[in-house]
Amino acid sequence: MTLSFRGAGTSAAGAGAGADEAPAACLHVVSWNVAGWKTTVEHIRRFKGGLPTFLERHCADILCLQEVKLTAKAITEDRRTLGVETPGYESFWACNEGSGAQRQGLNGVATFARQGLVVRADAAPLQHPELDREGRCLLTDHGSFVLFNVYVPNSSGGSRLPFKLRWLRALRAAMRRERAAGKAVILAGDLNLKHRPEDSHWSARPVQVARLAELSQEPSLPAEDRRLLAAAWEAWPGICDALRAREVRPFETRGQRKGQVFQRWGVFAKASNGEDVRLGQPMETEDHARGSFMVDGVGVEDDGSVVLGRASREAAHVLQPAGELCAGDLAECLRRLAGLEVGPGPLRRLAAAAGRAAAPPAVSEWLRAVLQEDGMVDSFAELHPAAEERFTCWDQYRNRRHENIGSRIDYILVDRPLFAARARRGAPLDARGPAAPESAAAALAAATLGGLSQPSPFAGGGMPALEEDEYLAQFRGLASTGVLYTPPQLSDHVAATLLLEGRQPAAPGGPARDAATQRCQPHRSAKRITDFFSRRPSSESGGDLAPPAKRTALGA
């Protein structure tokens, strides 16, 4: 396949330094958390050409999916509607069959690859039953390199942080084993972490609040900003007292769209005027609420128990260091507890100057080691270092995509020698208008597909139906290392992409039929007699399906 790069320019010299020129042949890797493949592919199949055309128009040679939420039984029985046997591609799957801490069908990853590109596959590459059984990691061997398709555990709330760290250590060991066997490594997927401070919206970046005092004396800032920062620092001791005396308790909330009543947990504190106020959004679990708005730190023991306050400093793992709040939480505390209105300008400057990556320190240390000690490259950050607010995930329930308040948690990391030899920038970042591609304005325009994607109405009805013009707007016909913006009805994530120069079949005769590879293809090992007589549905090409059930803004 030869790809054209309309509008591509000439790069700086140096292999892997971001060459924009179109190679004669290339390999385009797309990594996408679909938040439920059944719903996503139903949407895709509604439109002309269905999944085969979707893959071709995105120039996808390898498509890595995360959070497919399917069992091996579903893959086998519904393989046609799920696109499991899409012409020209082979698919490989890792599923959660419910033998671990999580229920059957959660998580799950899948890799679709053009025929001839996969030598072997393994759905248990971590070599540890507890860590492999959740269906979070799938290895495919492509000859000169292996690709790890991952859905890293979430540590929100803290209780799963020890499991996440064990899982990440096992992943790093698995990648090292492949390198020792002579393979270069690509790591693609939803890593559930942020690499850099700018990979989160400024309001979500943890900041050391003590920096308020320092910045209030910064002569380069406007005088009004310095005054507000000084007032915030003066109010901080009273805020700390209020947060230390806060209460976590349940309350009822009514859904704005459908009017349902839910029990949620909240953080309540006394404002300076004596009023009892709730801070932050309603939270689904008590543990999550207990760890929020903590000024004395949050720690996690090896058994998953969360430790709050000063004792957290002696816990096995630090979830949040003492003296920190997210910039947005700090703004809320200043407004609601101290009656001080500090606009986004001063706090955005605080986040830029003092914010850190929004990940637990131990997770950030793991990523640092993978990049610096193991020699991997964050492909997007390397080729687009000046890009602003290029996020891959948003809270769609609160329509955050339409404000571009999100985070970049979907990555493609590449071993540096492979990156230097073959990685290319390809097409420019999606801009959807006159704004410079690296600008925040261009990122917002791309996130909303040039304004075609509309927010969900709060009066009810869920997310707006996916119309043809919005669906077609995702296709640029261009391959790149960057971000691929799909419509919000397909997922609350968009895809990360990688363009590599050079593509040749690694396994002309198809993948090996060893036991590990066969387990990744349950649809091939469970043929039914009726398969030999049933006709392939005409809906394979798309366009003749009844519309799928509406996906809410929360996802599948």
Task: Report if residue 126 sits inside a domain.
Answer: yes
Task: Examine the pLDDT at 333 and tell me if it is beyond 50.
Answer: yes
Average predicted confidence (pLDDT) for the chain: 89
pLDDT score, position 528: 53
Rg (CA), the chain: 24
pLDDT at position 106 = 87
Q: Are residues 176 and 236 in the same domain?
A: no
Q: Over the stretch 442-479, which tens digit does the pLDDT of each residue have?
A: 999 999 999 999 999 866 668 899 999 999 999 999 99
Tell whether 320 and 398 lie within a shared domain. no
Report whether 468 contacts 47 (CB < 8 A). Answer: yes
Q: How would residue 104 be classed by pLDDT, with cut points 50, 70 and 90?
A: confident
Lowest mean pLDDT segment, chosen from 19-23, 199-203, 550-554:
550-554
Q: Do the annotations mark residue 33 as ligand-binding?
A: yes
Output the pLDDT for position 526: 61
% of residues, the chain, pLDDT over 90 = 79
101 with 124, same domain? yes
Residues 372-419: tens digit of each pLDDT: 999 999 999 999 999 999 999 999 989 999 999 999 999 999 999 999
- The string of DSSP letters for 416-474 reads HHHHHHHEE-BSPPP--SSS-TTSHHHHHHHHTGGGTS-PPPTTSS-SPP--HHHHHTT
Would you tell me the crossing angle of helices 344-354 and 223-244 to the nearest 10 degrees? Answer: 80
Same domain for 501 and 464: yes
Check whether residue 387 and residue 499 sit in a common domain. yes
Give mean pLDDT, residues 133-149: 97
Looking at the domain assignment, is residue 306 inside a domain?
A: yes
pLDDT band with cut points at 50, 70 and 90 for residue 75: very high
Residue 305 sits in the same domain as residue 403: no
Instruction: Tell me the pLDDT tens digit for each residue of 342-372.
Output: 999 999 999 999 999 999 999 999 999 999 9
Are residues 138 and 154 located together in one domain of the fold? yes
3-state SS class at 150: strand
Does 5 have pLDDT greater than 70? no
Number of domains in the chain: 2
CA distances from 227 to 213, 224, 336 (A): 11, 5, 19
Domain carrying residue 418: 26-200+358-520
- Predicted local confidence at residue 137, as pLDDT: 98
Q: Residue 92 domain-assigned?
A: yes
We report the CATH number of the domain holding residue 458 as 3.60.10.10
End residue of a domain, out of 354, 376, 408: 354
Q: How many CB atoms lie within 10 A of CB 272?
A: 15
Could you tell me if 107 and 163 lie in one domain?
yes
Q: How large is the average pLDDT for residues 321-339? A: 97
- Is 404 labelled as part of a ligand binding site? no
Q: Is 67 annotated as a binding residue?
A: yes
Task: Give the pLDDT of residue 544.
Answer: 39
pLDDT tens track for 278-293: 999 999 888 889 999 9
Output the CA–CA distances (angstroms, integers) from residue 491 to 30, 44, 229, 394, in the order listed.
15, 12, 39, 10
- What is the average pLDDT across 311-340? 95
Report the pLDDT value the prediction gives residue 504, as an integer from 0 to 100.
80
pLDDT-derived band of residue 24, with 50, 70 and 90 as boundaries? low
| Same-domain check for residues 236 and 172 | no
Confidence of residue 324 (pLDDT cuts 50, 70, 90): very high
**Rounded to whole angstroms, what are the CA distances from 169 to 126, 162, 186, 226, 362?**
9, 11, 16, 44, 11
pLDDT above 70 (res 546): no
- Same domain as 236, residue 186: no
